[in-house]
Amino acid sequence: MINVGIVGAGGYTGLELVKMLLNHPRFRLNYLATTSGDIMVEELHPSLLDLITFPVEEADPELIADKCELVFLALPHKASMGLAKELIVRGVKIVDLSADYRLERETYEAAYCPHEDPEHLGEAVYGLIEYYRDEIRVARLVAGPGCYPTATLLGLLPFIPYIDTSAPIFIDAKSGVSGAGKKLSETSHFVTINDNIFAYNPLKHRHAPEIAEKIAKIHGAEISVNFVPHLIPATRGELVSVYATLKEEIDPQEVLEKAYDTERFIRLRHKPVDIKSVAGTHFCDIYAQRNGKALFISSAIDNLLRGAASQALAAANLMMGLDEGTALPVIAYVP
Active-site positions read: 147
53: three-class secondary structure by DSSP? coil
Rounded distance between C-alpha atoms, residue 122 and residue 299, angstroms: 30
Write the DSSP string, 58-124: E--HHHHHHH-SEEEE---TTHHHHHHHHHHTTT-EEEE-SSTTTS-HHHHHHHS---S-HHHHTTP
Give the single-character DSSP code of 246: B
Where do the H-state alpha helices sit in the chain? Answer: 12-22, 41-44, 61-67, 79-88, 105-111, 118-121, 129-137, 147-156, 190-193, 207-219, 252-260, 309-319
270 burial (CB, 10 Å; 0-12 / 13-18 / 19+) is exposed
